[in-house]
Chain A
């Protein structure tokens, strides 16, 4: 494993507020894997909610703040494919900081791809005797290409699966629609509420009908949406971010 010294931990704003355990698990996991991780406390948001709603131009200040916060790190790692994709592809150009911005876009990684591609870890020792269903969040799936897409003719791969399947006792559940959207979609969840809910219910049904015990994924936003529906409908299924599973299994 190469020595990775300066990792800036980027915790999406809603994870900071609602899911501190996911952030803690991410931090602990990276530390267990031998990384030196710092959480710059001045960080805020990547600007995605505004940009996806059509106000990318209003996020220059947010983007600039992000660049400044993380400029001294070799890598930026976040437990969210969606926020990482936003920083990579949809941050508006920040006048005067164009070259820093380019560097940032190349040094930011989603957690699982950081483990597989940068740390190049191919064996994780641990045990997790559960039936796990994986929700492939779209921005990680088709944006960052964390896994092969069912639409494309390519050699199958899945970075999350690569890590999870090494855990002793973990049963990876094959879904009927392995990479269909859950209907979260940021403001879509509210502006197209009926569709969002239906899509969420359909995703849950796929997992539950395959006897999934724990639904996991790389983005808490999708999981927050799915968990919210499951909880309202008293459905018996647990939810965990992949960082929580890996961190728990390794300890």
Chain B
């Protein structure tokens, strides 16, 4: 995956790229406004950050506490070291209940584990019940955004796919009409599913309960109609106490969509009589990331997506340009830890503008970690042409005379070369930008003449 190429492709449709940028900017702007309606906003961010730091420093203790309390609540607790184990555990539960069709509310973790294709290969029908996720599922696409999975699609594209899959009227892109059609379609799926899968936003160690946040109520709808609820949870989603939800729930929706609260914040504590709840606690590289001192606090992420909405790169290149389950700035610091080679262009898909770090509700220093990943990536890539030229550059800047010589050579060359060469493909700067006009003398020369 190569981000610059994908971004160039995305930008070819200029009108669509502008629409994408404006749409996400609208969400970012809404977040800015609503966050400013909370006087203690920055205090909340500090609190959330501190709580998560504490969680990461004591993860093992909290996980064991969570397991103990969840079991006491009659929840089945499973541990998965990686995606494959996670998928096997889920399939095992489905097989035990002879279940061939499930409904699933939004879970980025199951995307990360590629659960859908795995279950489908094993003969299980998977229906994503979040509207945006259902739309991209119809199109065989992954979500392009972790909170707004179909944000890359315009109404008419959705009308077209609904016409094909749900037999809605051709050309009718009225949002109310389309959501009614989706609602009817999903009702049938909800009624038929014996097992419902959800993600987990927060697992509370002191009570063994967990919280799932949705705007559509689809997690509850699925869970209440099914006999078995499987909740898939990354091990970093633990919070120590129930009262900490008062911090995180206030931050989550405001950061994600600019709402003051998610429509449904559903607490699951123990199964109803005759029903089962399973929690699958998944590591899948998180322990490794925890061991990387410079990058560990990326695990504080609560998956609000605010860094995507604010990122000038994400808004203008789209979620797919990242080629990773979690796109955008946070994805660019998580993904290299999973596969450095594959995701090596991502930490460079940034101007290090720092907006991501400022919107982050748990204060992850995202742009600083992008900078640190760059250092790691160039080390891993070893000696190549670029690293040699950088070493030479260091030699030049460390020696004033060499710097002066090479700079004047560069200036000399710019003066001599005809425009056709200066602006040829050899010079990427000059493809769509003019170079500054060359002054008669450098400041250094001027200073020598004019000041003692």
A: which residues have CB within 8 A of B?
11, 13, 15-21, 23-24, 27, 39, 41-45, 47, 49-62, 64-65, 90, 138-139, 141-143, 149-154, 177, 179-181, 183-195, 197-200, 202, 224-225, 227-229, 231-232
Contacts and interface: CB of A to CB of B under 8 A. Distances in A.
Given A19-B439, A153-B35, A195-B7, A190 B428 contact: yes
B181 interface: no
A13 B349 contact: no
A54 B377 contact: yes
Contact of A53 (B25, B354, B379, B390): B390
B338 interface: no
B390 A55 contact: yes
A41 B32 contact: no
Contacts of A199: 312, 316, 351
B111 to A, nearest CB: 25
Interface stretch (B207-215, B276-284, B397-405): B397-405
10 contacts: A62-B397, A138-B351, A139-B352, A149-B355, A151-B358, A181-B351, A229-B432, A229-B433, A231-B433, A232-B432
Contact of B351 (A47, A177, A188, A231): A188
Interface string B423-437: 000001101111110
Nearest to B41: A153
B436 A153 contact: no
A143 B407 CA distance: 29
B442 A193 contact: no
B351 A183 contact: yes
Interface of B: 3-4, 7-8, 11, 17, 21, 25, 32, 35-36, 38-39, 41-42, 310, 312-313, 316-317, 348-355, 357-359, 371, 374-375, 377-379, 386-387, 390-391, 393-400, 403, 407, 410-411, 428-429, 431-436, 438-439, 441-448, 451
Contacts of A151: 32, 310, 355, 358-359
A181 B353 contact: yes
A149 B32 CA distance: 10
Contacts of B407: 13, 16-17
B429 to A, nearest CB: 6
Contacts, number: 204
A163 B273 CA distance: 70
Contacts of A228: 429, 433-436
A153 B444 CA distance: 43
Contacts of A61: 394-395, 397-398
Contacts of A150: 32
B348 A191 contact: yes
A49 B355 contact: no
Given A15-B443, A16-B442, A183 B352 contact: no
A45 B400 CA distance: 9
B403 A45 contact: yes
Given A18-B438, A23-B443, A224-B436, 19 more contacts: A17-B410, A20-B445, A44-B400, A47-B397, A54-B374, A55-B378, A57-B375, A139-B352, A181-B312, A184-B351, A191-B4, A192-B349, A193-B428, A195-B313, A195-B316, A199-B351, A228-B433, A228-B434, A232-B434
A152 B358 CA distance: 6
A50 B393 contact: yes
Nearest to A23: B443
Contacts of B350: 185, 188
B443 A11 contact: yes
A165 to B, nearest CB: 23
Contacts of A58: 387, 390-391, 393-394
A178 B41 CA distance: 21
- Majority secondary structure, A binding face: helix
Nearest to B351: A185
B25 A177 contact: yes
B378 A20 contact: no
Contact of B38 (A24, A153, A184): A153
Nearest to B451: A39
Nearest to B427: A190
Given A41-B448, A192-B349, A17 B429 contact: no
A20 B443 contact: yes
B7 A20 contact: no
Nearest to A230: B434
A180 B312 contact: yes
A152 B199 CA distance: 30
A199 B36 CA distance: 26
Contacts of B435: 228
Nearest to B441: A20
A195 B317 contact: yes
A66 to B, nearest CB: 9
B265 to A, nearest CB: 23
Contacts of A57: 375, 379
Q: Which of B349, B396, B398, B399 counts the most A-chain CB atoms under 10 A from its CB?
A: B398
A180 B8 CA distance: 20
A184 B41 CA distance: 31
* 3 cross-chain pairs, A with B, having the tightest CB-CB distances, nearest first: A185-B351, A228-B433, A61-B398
B355 A181 contact: yes
Contacts of A187: 348
Contacts of A191: 4, 348
Contacts of B386: 53
A47 B25 contact: no
B405 to A, nearest CB: 12
A141 B353 CA distance: 9
A198 B11 contact: yes
A60 B393 CA distance: 12
Nearest to B433: A228
Nearest to B313: A195
Contact of A153 (B3, B42, B442): B42
B348 A154 contact: no
A47 B394 contact: yes
Contacts of B436: 18-19, 224, 227-228
